[in-house]
Amino acid sequence: MTTPVPTAELRGVDLDYGSGPPWARRHQRAVSAVSLTIAPGETVGLVGQSGSGKTSVGRLLLGLARPTAGSVLFEGRPLGEDRRRHRGRLQAVLQNPAWSLDPRLRCGTSVAEPLTVAGALPADERRRRVAHMLKQVGLDPGVADRFPHQLSGGQQQRVAIARALVSHPSLVVFDEAVSALDVSVQAQILNLIRRLQDEVGFAALFISHDLAAARYVSHRVAVMWRSEIVEVADAAALYHHADHPYTRSLFGLEPGAAGRR
Amino acid sequence: MTLLDVRDLAVRYDTPHGVSQALDGASLTVAAGELVAVVGESGSGKSTLGMAALGLLPASAQRLTGDLLVDGESVFGLDPPRLRRLRRTRLGLVLQDAAGSLDPTRRVGRQLAEHLDRPGRADVLSRLEQVRLPDVERVARSYPHQLSGGMAQRVAIAIALARSPGLLVADEPTAALDTEIKHDVLRLLADSCRERGTALLVLTHDLTGIAAYCTRLVVMYGGRVVETGPPDDVLERPRHPYTRGLLHAVPGQETVGGTLRSIAGSPPVLTGPSAGCAFAPRCEFRVDRCDARRPEPSADAARVLCHRDGELDAVVTLDEVPEVSR
């Protein structure tokens, strides 16, 4: 899956976080010399331990963090020059749907918000798009009139996904989007992500500590270890072997994932 | 010898926000020294069961029917001093958030010493060594926030096992930990309990992850135990439709390009005793009697809670059923 212009690209990116007072500033390297491309319509999985820098890579791609060195490109152009241009084009789905849904807004309002912010759409067209999107994530359009607390965790995550996709983004970052869900519901959401990508065709970064889940939804999987990407492999290849010892250890220590094939 | 005996226990929470039925006739026995994993999703009642075993149910919890015996005595019948004595001498608890269960203002060595019969420095250090902590001198001097999640969990385990309790309840002990550390901690829990002859009750949502460390799996759904058995039996030959569905829904066992078969719908929130089988609305094998009558456990050791137990294998195996529409 190669195209001349990748949807998102990291070129030799470093990211440092500073802490402490100005006279005793300490820097912690969160991302080190990371290069990664995501082609249109491709899902790249990003797995690693907590603290390995996965979420920082997601923040860089979304333009929420500026790289210390290297460059972040979005659709071939440096991200951050004119970020208003990207409104609605970059979206995120987070671990806990409560973080992206305002408890005081009806779900329909929350889902419509990316469209409202982008402007230029009449209200009835917005409502139509919201209803269509809710149907696409497998919810009854009547959910638009409910509040988040009236829905189950899985339904809330579906609403959060609808909110992320309603503005037809070209890149969606899923940051541990299924980790907080019950096992039986997790599979529903993983299947939903796969199906929506086939239907809608966005590029995605799927951040997870669960290699098996990442492998399932992704075309390629990148493995992060101590702020570096140590291996990038086709998801299909990961069903047979993995090269880096750390990748193997992610599997080897998971009797549920690899032992029971 | 039976250490923990839960008999048809039903517990309801009465809160200002409404009523919820957490346990709906759960039955379970645990023998001394047994390593048991209670597997269930949120709302399955596993935490309520674990807390009931420790006599730690909040005031809003109401026991409707049934009983829970530890060492042959009902924890519901004990007066507070005797309940405290039982907890002190016979029971231990490890929580998901280890750092949160330790006192943030005191060094962990002192916190551990509190629980020891001979609270000497040497004993504290040897207890920390037993839970496979490196550099025990430093750990003993540390405050909880100076420890990683995995180290804090090991300290919590050392404290819970300090008096070699008869039963250790671990509520999602590894949910907050990384994959690699997770398995070290589970192995530590299992090994430590085995050495002391302590029975272990691990409450978890991770069916396949826990299997290697326990001698028995107990699957809960809708406030009842729906299936139990040795891990190999439950994983290789699951009998309850919920257990089957759960095993198919875990990523990692699909083939290349294959699809995970999810269970339609979401776990129930019970507000009263369920009239029929709690899993019926999501079950692909549902027949009329599933809604009408509560299933009784099968007569054998697996105690499968399904009207169609025994019929299903003859009818169809799950692999041949087409994907349930989402």
One domain for residues A163 and A224: no
One domain for residues A12 and A44: yes
Count interface pairs A-B at CB distance under 8 A.
Answer: 113
More confident residue, A248 or B203: B203
One domain for residues A10 and A85: yes
- Looking at this protein, which amino acid is placed at residue A78? P
Residue A12 has φ and ψ, to the nearest 5°, of 50, 50
Q: Which domain holds residue A81?
A: 1-89+171-190+199-261
Number of domains into which chain B is organized: 1
With an 8 Å Cβ cutoff, are B256 and A152 in contact? Answer: no
Determine the Cα–Cα distance for residues B110 and B129; give it in Å rounded to an integer. 15
Looking at the domain assignment, is residue A94 inside a domain?
no
Q: How far, CA to CA in Å, does A92 sit from each of A6, A37, A163, A172, B69?
A: 18, 17, 9, 5, 49
Residues of B in contact with A182 (CB under 8 A): 41-42, 205, 266-267
Tokens 């970020």 found at? A83
**What confidence tier does A249 reach under pLDDT thresholds 50, 70, 90?**
low
- Closest alpha carbon within chain A to B209: A256
Residues of B in contact with A257 (CB under 8 A): 208, 251-252
Q: Which candidate in A155, A181, A182 is best for mutational testing of the B interface (most B CBs within 10 A)? A: A182
With an 8 Å Cβ cutoff, are B263 and A187 in contact? Answer: yes
One domain for residues A147 and A255: no
Residues of A in contact with B253 (CB under 8 A): 260-261
Q: Which candidate in B240, B260, B263, B282 is best for mutational testing of the A interface (most A CBs within 10 A)? A: B260
Using one digit for the tens of pLDDT, what is the confidence trace for A220-231? 999 998 899 998
* pLDDT of B152: 93
One domain for residues A82 and A180: yes
Question: ipTM of this model?
Answer: 0.76
Token pair for residue A206? 């799927």
Q: Quick one: which of A142, A167, A201, A149 has its CA closest to A1?
A: A201
Minimum distance, in Å, between the CA of residue B178 and any CA atom of chain A: 6
With an 8 Å Cβ cutoff, are A236 and B255 in contact? Answer: no
With an 8 Å Cβ cutoff, are A183 and B205 in contact? Answer: yes
DSSP A136: H
Determine the Cα–Cα distance for residues A204 and A90; give it in Å rounded to an integer. 10
One domain for residues A27 and A146: no
Determine the Cα–Cα distance for residues B232 and A193; give it in Å rounded to an integer. 32
One domain for residues A50 and A74: yes
Using one digit for the tens of pLDDT, what is the confidence trace for A151-203? 888 889 999 999 999 988 999 999 999 887 888 888 888 999 998 998 888 99
DSSP B212: G
Determine the Cα–Cα distance for residues B205 and B185; give it in Å rounded to an integer. 16
Are A146 and A159 in contact, with CB atoms under 8 Å apart?
Answer: no
Element containing residue B29 per DSSP (H, E): strand B18-31
Looking at the domain assignment, is residue B326 inside a domain?
no
With an 8 Å Cβ cutoff, are B250 and A216 in contact? Answer: no
For chain B, the average pLDDT equals: 89
One domain for residues A135 and A157: yes
One domain for residues A84 and A161: no
Q: How far, CA to CA in Å, does B154 sit from each of A192, B35, B114, B177?
A: 38, 18, 16, 12
Looking at the domain assignment, is residue A153 inside a domain?
yes
Q: Which domain holds residue B33?
A: 2-320
Minimum distance, in Å, between the CA of residue B268 and any CA atom of chain A: 10
B199-204/B167-171 β-pairing: parallel
With an 8 Å Cβ cutoff, are B260 and A50 in contact? Answer: no
With an 8 Å Cβ cutoff, are B252 and A49 in contact? Answer: no
Looking at the domain assignment, is residue B63 inside a domain?
yes
Token pair for residue B206? 């991770």
What CATH number is associated with residue B128?
Answer: 3.40.50.300
Global confidence as pTM: 0.82
- Closest alpha carbon within chain A to B243: A184
Among the partner residues B180, B249, B326, nearest to A184 by beta-carbon distance: B249
Residues of B in contact with A192 (CB under 8 A): 326
One domain for residues A42 and A140: no
Using one digit for the tens of pLDDT, what is the confidence trace for B204-261? 988 888 999 999 999 999 999 999 999 999 998 999 999 999 888 888 777 777 788 8
Looking at the domain assignment, is residue B325 inside a domain?
no
- In sequence order, which ranges of chain A are alpha helices (DSSP H)? 54-62, 107-118, 123-136, 153-165, 183-200, 211-217, 235-238, 245-252
Residues of B in contact with A154 (CB under 8 A): 266
What CATH number is associated with residue A34?
Answer: 3.40.50.300
3-state secondary structure of A21: coil
Mean of the pLDDT values across residues A80-93?
81
With an 8 Å Cβ cutoff, are A210 and B179 in contact? Answer: yes
Among the partner residues A152, A184, A261, nearest to B263 by beta-carbon distance: A184
Among the partner residues A187, A194, A250, nearest to B249 by beta-carbon distance: A187
Q: Quick one: which of B259, B275, B225, B284 has its CA closest to B36?
A: B225
Using one digit for the tens of pLDDT, what is the confidence trace for B99-144? 788 999 999 999 999 999 888 899 999 999 999 999 999 999 999 9
Determine the Cα–Cα distance for residues A80 and A82; give it in Å rounded to an integer. 6
Number of domains into which chain A is organized: 2
Looking at the domain assignment, is residue A159 inside a domain?
yes
- Closest alpha carbon within chain B to A240: B256
Determine the Cα–Cα distance for residues B82 and B94; give it in Å rounded to an integer. 21
One domain for residues A82 and A203: yes
One domain for residues A104 and A72: no
